[in-house]
Amino acid sequence: MAAQTPHYSEEAALSLTLAIVAASQAPLLLLDGDLNIVSASQSFGQVFELDVDRAVGGPLSSLGAGEWEMPRLRALLDATAAGDAPVDAFELDLVRPGRSPRHLLIHAQRLVYLDLENRRLLMSVTDTTQALADQKLKDEALAENLVLLSEVRHRVANSLQIIASVLLQNARRTQSEETRAHLKDAHNRVMSVAALERQLSESAAETVQLQTYFISLCDSIAASMIADPQQISLRVTGEGGVVSARISVSLGLIVTELVINALKHAFPDGRSGKIVVDCQVHGPNWTLSVTDDGAGLLAQPSQGRIGLGTSIVQALARQLDAVVEIKSAHLGTSITVTHTQVALVQDLPADGNPADGQAAASL
C-alpha cells in the first residue's frame, strides 16, 4: 500500500513557520506588508533587551522607545515588500536612550509562497558593534607599531652613519693601502644601508612604491660614491610597482650591493659609463635588474665582481625565492633577479612546462 502524504492545514503551516522564527539563534523578525511584527525570535529580544511577545502585532517603529523608526530603513523595507529588491547588508546605527549606540547590518527578503495576497518579509539583524571595536583596536595597535618601527629605523640609520664616519676616519689614518680600501668599502656599504633605513623610516605604510624608493636610494648612493656625475650616471627605469615593506628591504639591499659592485669594478682607469636600475612588477611576479656598460666581467679578476657583493645578492635572492642571472660581455654586465610566483601564459614554452631557469639560479 502506498504511503499517504500527511495533510497539513494552513493553520499548522503558519504555526510551524512562527515556531521556526521564534526558535532561531539569529535575531529575526517576520513582518507583514505594512511592517507590522508577525513573529520575532527570542534571540532578537535577548540582543536588544525587548519583550518580543508584547512586540508581536505592533509596528516595527514601536519597538523599544521608538528607536527603530528610521525613515531610510522603512523606505528600504517598503521597497522590498513591493518586490523591488531585497535589503542586502544595510548598515545603520541604533541609538537607544540611556544605552550605547549599536552598529547593525540589516538583511531583508520578501518571502514567496502560495498566499500571495499576504506579503511577508523576513528581516535578520547582525550586531557588528564589537567586531568594529576590535578592528579599531587592531588598527590603532598597528598604527602605533608602525610609528615605533619608523622611530627604530631612524635611530638605526643615525647609528649606522656614526659607524660609517668612524670607518672613514680609520681609513684616512691607516698607512696600508689594502686596509684603507677595505675600510672605504665597509664605509660605503654602511652608508648605503643607512640610506636604506632612512628611506623606510620616512614611510609609515605597510607597502612601498618601488620606483620612488629606488630613485631616492640611488640618489643617496650616487651622492656618496660618484664624484663626477658627468662621467658616471646612475638612473632608475621601469614601471616599478608596490611590494610589502619586508620585501622592499631585501630588494633595497640587492640594489645597493649591485650598484656598489658596478661602481667599484665596471669603470676602471677613469672610464665613463652609465648604470641602470630597472624594476618591473606584475602582481606577485617581479623582475629587478642592474645593468652597466662598463668593462664586463671578462676584463675583471676573479676576485673582483664575483665576490662578497654577489654572495650577498645570492643569499637575499634565496630568501625571496628568486632567481639570479648574470650576463656579461666586453661592453657591460647585466644582473637580473626574478621572482615568479604565478607563471604567465606568454612565459611558458610550447609544452606548458616552466623553463629550468624559473626553478634554479644561473650563476
Q: Would you tell me which CATH number, out of the four given (3.40.30.10, 3.40.50.970, 3.30.565.10, 3.40.50.1390), belongs to the domain 206-363?
A: 3.30.565.10
Q: What is the pLDDT of residues 318-350, one digit of tens each?
A: 999 999 999 887 778 999 999 998 655 444 445
Name the grid cell of 128. Answer: 557588528
Residue 333, pLDDT score: 92
Name the grid cell of 34. Answer: 505594512
What phi and psi values does residue 236 have, to the nearest 5 degrees? Answer: -115, 130
Strands 207-209 and 232-240: unpaired
Residue 116, pLDDT score: 61
pLDDT mean across residues, the chain: 80
Distance CA 81, CA 73 (A): 12
**Digitized pLDDT (tens) for each residue of the chain, 363 residues in all:** 455 555 555 566 667 777 788 778 888 888 888 999 988 888 888 888 888 888 888 999 888 888 998 999 999 998 988 887 788 888 889 888 888 888 999 999 888 776 667 788 888 998 888 888 888 888 888 777 767 767 776 777 777 778 878 888 888 888 888 888 888 778 777 877 777 777 666 665 677 888 888 988 888 888 878 888 899 999 999 887 888 878 888 898 899 889 988 988 889 888 899 999 999 988 889 999 999 998 887 655 544 444 667 788 899 999 999 999 998 877 789 999 999 986 554 444 455 444 443 333 332
Asked if 317 and 361 count as a contact pair (C-beta separation under 8 A), the reply is: yes
Q: What is the pLDDT of residues 292-302, one digit of tens each?
A: 998 887 655 54
Asked if 30 and 18 count as a contact pair (C-beta separation under 8 A), the reply is: yes
Q: What is the pLDDT of residues 5-40, one digit of tens each?
A: 555 555 666 677 777 887 788 888 888 889 999 888
Residue 232, pLDDT score: 94
Which residues are bridge partners to 126 per DSSP?
A: 105
Distance CA 358, CA 340 (A): 7
Residue 6, pLDDT score: 54
The C-alpha cell 547582525 sits at: 126
End-to-end, the C-alpha distance of the chain in Å comes to: 83
pTM of this prediction exceeds 0.75: no
Could you tell me which CATH number the domain at 16-127 has?
3.30.450.20
Q: What is the pLDDT of residues 173-189, one digit of tens each?
A: 888 888 888 887 787 77
